[in-house]
């Protein structure tokens, strides 16, 4: 009887250990992040709805792109391409989609910037004013005319490609401060620099966002840059990745940003990405690996499905 009880205790201990190890392995696994909002509309064959994207079970982080106009005395403007028209109020319907994503544990961030030239910050005061606007309209504020209705996003992503590099740390710091003062959920701050190091807009360099130890996630864009994307070969990516992961203050999760469309320079076929000895296998042990970020959501659901098990 005692011997049998001992076996049960040992078996229970083994099972507990396996569960703990499983949890550790799961928590240390990478995830896939992607952008939504700039590729067509909600129709099948186009980008599809935000809820459909999240229901694919491929993603851990989704960026809504873009708040493409802000700063310099301008009223901020949300641009979701063919999905909806913010001034008409038609984008408010995505509040339920955002809630659907968040109910699955997916972090939803509002992405600022993009390839347009309609933004920039000229002072710390302007940055703090923008933080208040984002709070009022996209987070815990009380604006009844918010572009995304009652949605409460989990933070912001900075895809800053023009308009100067100053005061984004003031924006991030103030937004986090407002949230803390209002007992809001944790606010995540992300940045999407291009792979030439350091990024001209985001750094890391004195006075730039990535030098302020504020970032939780860094989605380095390894595309459209032949010196450090796949056009430079596996060694070129790994070299650039090592430089990025070794030089960002703080401990943000770093993501390998890739195009999921052959139309974008730097494309890596999914089978090539995950093959033994390939890019993904080599970088996963270097730095604060967080996973893979994919651009071009029109096609990336298939791409994401193909790589998910290896990320």
Closest CA to 119 of 162, 165, 173: 162
**Statement: residue 5 has pLDDT above 90:** no
Q: What does the pLDDT read at residue 296? A: 74
**Statement: residue 171 has pLDDT above 70:** yes
Q: What does the pLDDT read at residue 299? A: 64
List, in order of start, the domains of the chain with CATH numbers.
Answer: 30-310 (3.20.20.80)
Rounded Cα distance, 55 and 49, in Å? 10
Q: Which residue has the tokens 């090592």?
A: 242
129 is known as an active-site residue: no
pLDDT confidence band for 143 (50 / 70 / 90): confident
User: How would you class 225 by CB atoms within 10 Å of its CB: exposed for 0-12, middle for 13-18, buried for 19 or more?
Assistant: middle
pLDDT, tens digit, 9 for 90 and up, residues 184-225: 999 999 999 999 999 999 999 999 999 999 999 999 999 999
How many of the other CB atoms lie within 10 Å of CB of 206? 7
pLDDT confidence band for 79 (50 / 70 / 90): very high
Q: What does the pLDDT read at residue 145? A: 86
**Statement: residue 154 has pLDDT above 70:** yes
pLDDT, tens digit, 9 for 90 and up, residues 263-285: 899 999 999 999 999 999 999 99
Q: What does the pLDDT read at residue 44? A: 63
Residues 6+ apart with CB under 8 A from 43: none
Q: Residue 202 corresponds to which tokens in the numbers above?
A: 């985001």
Please pick, among 161, 177, 253, 281, the residue that the annotation labels catalytic.
Answer: 161
Choose the weakest-confidence range: 49-58, 211-220, 246-255. Answer: 49-58
Percent of the chain with pLDDT over 70: 89
Give the torsion sign (CA, 104, 283, 195, 245): positive
pLDDT, tens digit, 9 for 90 and up, residues 17-45: 333 333 333 334 799 999 999 987 777 66
Write the DSSP symbol of residue 196.
S
């Amino acid at each position: 009887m005692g011997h049998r009880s001992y076996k049960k205790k040992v078996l229970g201990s083994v099972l507990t250990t396996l569960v703990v190890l499983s949890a550790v392995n799961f928590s240390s696994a990478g995830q896939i992040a992607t952008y939504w909002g700039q590729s067509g509309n909600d129709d099948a064959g186009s980008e599809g709805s935000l809820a459909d994207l999240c229901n694919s079970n491929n993603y851990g982080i989704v960026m809504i792109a873009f708040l493409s106009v802000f700063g310099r005395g301008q009223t901020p403007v949300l641009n979701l391409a063919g999905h909806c028209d913010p001034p008409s109020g038609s984008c408010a319907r995505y509040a339920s989609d955002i809630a659907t994503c968040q109910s699955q544990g997916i972090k939803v961030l509002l992405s600022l910037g993009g390839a347009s030239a309609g933004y920039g910050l000229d002072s710390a005061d302007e940055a703090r004013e923008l933080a208040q606007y984002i709070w009022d309209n996209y987070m815990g504020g009380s604006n009844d005319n918010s572009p995304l209705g009652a949605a409460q996003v989990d933070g912001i992503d900075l895809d800053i490609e023009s308009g100067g590099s100053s005061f984004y740390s003031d924006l991030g710091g103030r937004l986090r401060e407002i949230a803390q003062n209002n007992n809001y959920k944790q606010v995540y701050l992300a940045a999407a620099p291009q792979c030439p190091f350091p990024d001209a807009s985001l750094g890391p360099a004195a006075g730039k966002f990535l030098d302020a130890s504020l970032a939780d996630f860094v989605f380095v864009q390894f595309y459209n840059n032949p010196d450090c994307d796949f056009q430079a070969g596996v060694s070129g990516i790994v070299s650039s990745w090592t430089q990025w992961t070794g030089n960002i203050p703080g401990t943000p999760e770093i993501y390998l940003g890739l195009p999921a469309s052959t139309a974008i320079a730097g494309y890596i076929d999914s089978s090539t990405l995950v093959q033994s000895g390939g890019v993904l296998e080599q970088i996963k042990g270097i730095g604060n690996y967080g996973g893979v970020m994919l651009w071009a959501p029109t096609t990336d659901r298939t791409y994401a499905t193909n790589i998910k098990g290896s990320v």
